[in-house]
Chains A and B, each alone.
Chain A
Amino acid sequence: MREAVAHNLVEIRGLKIGATVFTPGEKPKDVEIVHGVDLNLEKGKVLGLIGESGAGKSTIGLSTLAYGRGGIRITGGEIFINGIDILKNSVGELRDLRGRQVTYVSQSAAAGFNPSKRLMDQVVESCLSHKLCSRKEAEERAVTLFRKLGLPDPENFGKRYPHQVSGGQLQRAMTAMALCPEPDLVIFDEPTTALDVTTQIDVLASIKEAIQDTGVGAIYITHDLAVVAQVSDHIMVLQHGRMVEYGTTDQIINNPQKDYTRALVSIRSTIHDETPAKGEPVLKLNNVSARYRGLNFDVVKDVTLEIHPSQTLAVVGESGSGKSTLARVMTGLLPLRQGSVSFNGETLPAALEERSKEQLRELQMIYQMADVAMNPRQTIETIIGRPLEFYFGMQGAEKRARVIELLDEIELGESFLKRYPAELSGGQKQRVCIARALAAKPRLIICDEVTSALDPLVADGILKLLLNLQEIEHVSYLFITHDLATVRAIADTIAVMYQGNVVRYGPKSKVLEPPFDDYTDLLLSSVPEMKLGWLEDVISTRKMDSAGN
């Protein structure tokens, strides 16, 4: 056995990780999910692990803590941290390793904090439990970290409870918690994925600064190559538990060698050419305002928009900007307070119950989370067949033939008829939801963040499918998203929303061309680009702080 190289902080050799799969109705079986991965990380460097879901990146990240999530175990290989093979460690030695030498920042900070304890108590916890320093010293360290991470009022920030700070701040507090015991290695597991694009960039910048200042080594896990390019020195691309490519950040971004990496780098290149609007608008919002019961302000304020036949209107904005509320108003789930919605030239009744079956049929919706948008106890045939039965009275063979036709349109095929949603992948689920919406032969489909829960390559496939279907079925889309790359890819018209107002509205070419208003500028500049040094450029030239700050 070869000894570990002294200057390497982490050295992983031939790592194999297995798990037991419990398929219903079958005997539990063991599968390998990571097939022999090697990696090195020098002290003070940052390694980016990138890949789609299921690539094994989080599993590898957690293995540096000699830890596996439920049912996962390390079946082979060696993991050296500071030259010590941690897989041979005793439980007591592992306890010393975790939370002291190696710490972890998870994706969902909101779920990572105990809601009933103050932030300070949680940030200093690992320092105290490892008896690294006194409480006073630990709190001083925490305040220094809060300041370094750009948190407001660092002296008093720790006195707040998790629900009293924003998502971006919470993610930074979690970074402070990980850095507080002055570890050698921090695992960042998708720390900015759940954040708004404008907030993500602030958090990213402060994480990067904190890494540089403290000289800690880090493994940064994400599915977004553009993000990881901003923080890491080296990048490892993973697919299905195997390494695809490893190199310096510069080489991976500018000169990728493998096809898979190339696909990831060029991911945001689909661009749909804008088509001019023709004909009467399908849907028109006239000065619409709406609010939820119990609120004393409007969530959507005086919005006027139009969607034309066979066109896509993209509504873009960060969370809380009122874009999903707008969709609820159109569908009638939230009756509007002022203004009117007209569909095919006639005014739609505000409440869902008063709309005719025909009006309901022509306006369909696709959701963000495909897994909860389908009844888990119904087969795909029932799910897609129900609108056919409900709106057109189709039965038996006729219905089945149409379902198969729709399955073909979404590129899935007949073999999916008898399956349940749980047996489908994320992208396949979303395709079934699209087929369900199409089954009603609608004139307009509202797509609420339909690609944001999907891996980039899969999301790309869905966008292409939607564009194809638009040509075949002549359906219009209202596309709600926070992702400007998606907007570029699919929109004809764009409406930018900010705090309930439409701040910019027009054809794509006009909206994405300067001069910009401050918010559009912030939004556009916050979209990570596949370019080294992009983060620094943006931070230095921004005009406006993100809403989350």
Chain B
Amino acid sequence: MTMRIPVSALIGLTMMAFFFCLAVFAPLIAPYGIGEVVGDVWEPMSAKHWLGTDNIGRDLLTRMIYGARTTIFIASAATVLSFTLGTLLALSAVVLGGWVDMALSRFIDLIMTIPTLIFALVVLSVVPTSILILIVLMGLLDTTRVYRLARAVAVDINVMDYVEAARLRGEGTSWIVLREILPNALSPLVAELGLRFIFMVLFISTLSFLGLGVLPPDTDWGAIVKENKEGLVYGIPAALAPAVAIATLAISVNLVADWVLNRTTSLKGGRNA
């Protein structure tokens, strides 16, 4: 099957590949060490320091590359966690129905009534901050959103005759969830995956900006904005670099997600085939 990738998706894919390469190979690419002070405070861009230096004279490009690593790693891990958990819980709730569905859905609603950021701030002020804690916390909080969407999608599929046919055959819950419902729920979920990933990037950046996210010597894009924000007053653009990076990543992921959604729905046997 030949596959034509639209230009928009191609741009998105290239940008994403670029960011992910930065993240994976950060120690190899970065020109300096992560905490190394190599120049004056807020030096302008130069051949030596492509993006200039930050508020205490570290190479900004190096900081950005290491920041990408942390940001993308945490966001990806949290997205994977929230998707796996949210989808499985939602699909099982729909298939089992009755009080399981009721209890789980109401519990999720309850969690959703608490603003995510405030919830996170409260938890992080009690437990010690570590990357693992951040991932689990963000993943669990976002599970509620994924659960809601996946449940809505699965309710539609659950009433299809082929699911009933499987039930009449005597199939167990795991077959119905994984083989009958999940493949048909994937396309809207994959599109949502892109969006949720971006929300994760924004979330971790927000937390770091507020000083509750990634702790030094590690850094991420939110933390770089925080460190350099005073510079803006003096007309120093260092804080803009991570902001631009966040925006670019968000857009490129969305371009890809759009394409994936289009593709999967017109796939053989897709909903609009």
* Cα distance A376–B2 in the bound complex, in angstroms: 22
* Cα distance A421–B162 in the bound complex, in angstroms: 12
What's the least CB distance linking A177 to chain B, in Å?
Answer: 30
Q: Does A133 contact B (CB under 8 A)?
A: no
Q: Does A536 contact B (CB under 8 A)?
A: no
Interface segment, one of B56-64, B168-176, B191-199, B204-212: B168-176
Q: What number of A-B contacts does a CB cutoff of 8 Å give?
A: 69
What's the least CB distance linking B31 to chain A, in Å?
Answer: 45
* Cα distance A355–B2 in the bound complex, in angstroms: 48
Q: Does A259 contact B (CB under 8 A)?
A: no
Contact yes or no, B168 A376, CB < 8 A: no
Q: List 20 other contacts, CB 8 Å, given A333-B168, A375-B184.
A: A22-B266, A25-B1, A25-B2, A25-B3, A26-B2, A331-B168, A333-B167, A352-B168, A357-B170, A365-B165, A365-B168, A367-B161, A367-B165, A372-B161, A374-B162, A375-B162, A376-B269, A376-B270, A376-B271, A440-B169
Q: Does B128 contact A (CB under 8 A)?
A: no
| B267 contacts across to A, CB distance below 8 A | 24
| A440 contacts across to B, CB distance below 8 A | 169
Q: Does B273 contact A (CB under 8 A)?
A: yes
Contact yes or no, A24 B169, CB < 8 A: no
Contact yes or no, B169 A352, CB < 8 A: no
Q: Does B36 contact A (CB under 8 A)?
A: no
Q: Does B164 contact A (CB under 8 A)?
A: yes
Q: Does B227 contact A (CB under 8 A)?
A: no
Q: Does B131 contact A (CB under 8 A)?
A: no
Q: Which of A333, A422, A436 contacts B164 (CB 8 A)?
A: A333
| B1 contacts across to A, CB distance below 8 A | 24-25
Q: Does A532 contact B (CB under 8 A)?
A: no
Contact yes or no, B273 A376, CB < 8 A: yes
Contact yes or no, A423 B161, CB < 8 A: no
Contact yes or no, B161 A369, CB < 8 A: yes
Q: Given A367-B165, A376-B273, A377-B184, is A390 in contact with B170 using a C-beta cutoff of 8 Å?
A: yes
| A436 contacts across to B, CB distance below 8 A | 165
Contact surface of A with B, Cβ cutoff 8 Å: 22, 24-26, 331-333, 352, 355, 357, 360-361, 364-365, 367, 369, 372-378, 386-387, 390, 420-423, 436, 440
Contact yes or no, A390 B171, CB < 8 A: yes
Question: 29 A-B Cβ contacts within 8 A?
Answer: A22-B266, A24-B1, A24-B268, A24-B270, A24-B273, A25-B268, A332-B168, A333-B167, A333-B168, A357-B170, A360-B170, A361-B170, A365-B165, A365-B168, A367-B165, A372-B161, A373-B165, A375-B180, A375-B183, A376-B184, A376-B270, A376-B271, A387-B169, A390-B169, A390-B170, A421-B269, A422-B268, A422-B269, A422-B270
| A390 contacts across to B, CB distance below 8 A | 169-171
Contact yes or no, A352 B167, CB < 8 A: yes
Contact yes or no, A24 B266, CB < 8 A: yes
1/0 contact string of B232-273 vs chain A (CB within 8 Å): 000000000000000000000000000000000011111101
Interface centre among B160, B169, B179 (most CB of A within 10 A): B169
What's the least CB distance linking A448 to chain B, in Å?
Answer: 9
Contact yes or no, A423 B268, CB < 8 A: yes
* Cα distance A153–B165 in the bound complex, in angstroms: 45
| B167 contacts across to A, CB distance below 8 A | 333, 352
Closest 6 pairs between A and B when the two form their complex, measured CB to CB: A376-B269, A377-B183, A25-B1, A373-B161, A420-B269, A422-B273
* Cα distance A364–B169 in the bound complex, in angstroms: 8
Interface centre among A333, A352, A357, A377 (most CB of B within 10 A): A377
* Cα distance A22–B270 in the bound complex, in angstroms: 13
Contact yes or no, A377 B269, CB < 8 A: yes
What's the least CB distance linking A223 to chain B, in Å?
Answer: 23
Contact surface of B with A, Cβ cutoff 8 Å: 1-3, 160-162, 164-165, 167-171, 179-180, 183-184, 266-271, 273
What's the least CB distance linking B218 to chain A, in Å?
Answer: 42
What's the least CB distance linking A441 to chain B, in Å?
Answer: 13
Q: Given A24-B273, A390-B170, is A373 in contact with B162 using a C-beta cutoff of 8 Å?
A: yes
| B171 contacts across to A, CB distance below 8 A | 390
* Cα distance A377–B186 in the bound complex, in angstroms: 11
What's the least CB distance linking A51 to chain B, in Å?
Answer: 24
* Cα distance A377–B178 in the bound complex, in angstroms: 12
| A423 contacts across to B, CB distance below 8 A | 268
| A377 contacts across to B, CB distance below 8 A | 183-184, 269
| A375 contacts across to B, CB distance below 8 A | 162, 179-180, 183-184
Chain A residue with the shortest CB-CB distance to B165: A373
Contact yes or no, B269 A360, CB < 8 A: no
Interface centre among A364, A386, A423 (most CB of B within 10 A): A386
* Cα distance A373–B266 in the bound complex, in angstroms: 20
What's the least CB distance linking B2 to chain A, in Å?
Answer: 7
| A365 contacts across to B, CB distance below 8 A | 165, 168
| B164 contacts across to A, CB distance below 8 A | 333
* Cα distance A355–B269 in the bound complex, in angstroms: 32
Chain A residue with the shortest CB-CB distance to B273: A422
* Cα distance A373–B168 in the bound complex, in angstroms: 12
What's the least CB distance linking B268 to chain A, in Å?
Answer: 5
| A25 contacts across to B, CB distance below 8 A | 1-3, 268
What's the least CB distance linking A240 to chain B, in Å?
Answer: 22
Chain B residue with the shortest CB-CB distance to A22: B266
What's the least CB distance linking A116 to chain B, in Å?
Answer: 23
Chain A residue with the shortest CB-CB distance to B183: A377
Chain A residue with the shortest CB-CB distance to B270: A376
* Cα distance A332–B161 in the bound complex, in angstroms: 15
| A367 contacts across to B, CB distance below 8 A | 161, 165
* Cα distance A276–B187 in the bound complex, in angstroms: 53
Q: Which of B162, B168, B268 contacts A420 (CB 8 A)?
A: B268
| B3 contacts across to A, CB distance below 8 A | 25
Interface centre among A357, A361, A374 (most CB of B within 10 A): A374
* Cα distance A352–B172 in the bound complex, in angstroms: 12
| B179 contacts across to A, CB distance below 8 A | 375, 378
| B273 contacts across to A, CB distance below 8 A | 24, 376, 422
* Cα distance A168–B179 in the bound complex, in angstroms: 40
Chain A residue with the shortest CB-CB distance to B167: A352
* Cα distance A44–B273 in the bound complex, in angstroms: 41
| B266 contacts across to A, CB distance below 8 A | 22, 24
* Cα distance A367–B164 in the bound complex, in angstroms: 10
What's the least CB distance linking B78 to chain A, in Å?
Answer: 28
What's the least CB distance linking A161 to chain B, in Å?
Answer: 25
Chain B residue with the shortest CB-CB distance to A376: B269
What's the least CB distance linking A325 to chain B, in Å?
Answer: 14
What's the least CB distance linking A377 to chain B, in Å?
Answer: 4
* Cα distance A500–B170 in the bound complex, in angstroms: 28
| A378 contacts across to B, CB distance below 8 A | 179, 183, 269
What's the least CB distance linking A517 to chain B, in Å?
Answer: 34
What's the least CB distance linking B254 to chain A, in Å?
Answer: 23
| A333 contacts across to B, CB distance below 8 A | 164, 167-168
| A22 contacts across to B, CB distance below 8 A | 266
Chain A residue with the shortest CB-CB distance to B180: A375
| B183 contacts across to A, CB distance below 8 A | 375, 377-378
| B162 contacts across to A, CB distance below 8 A | 372-375
| A420 contacts across to B, CB distance below 8 A | 268-269
| B268 contacts across to A, CB distance below 8 A | 24-25, 420, 422-423
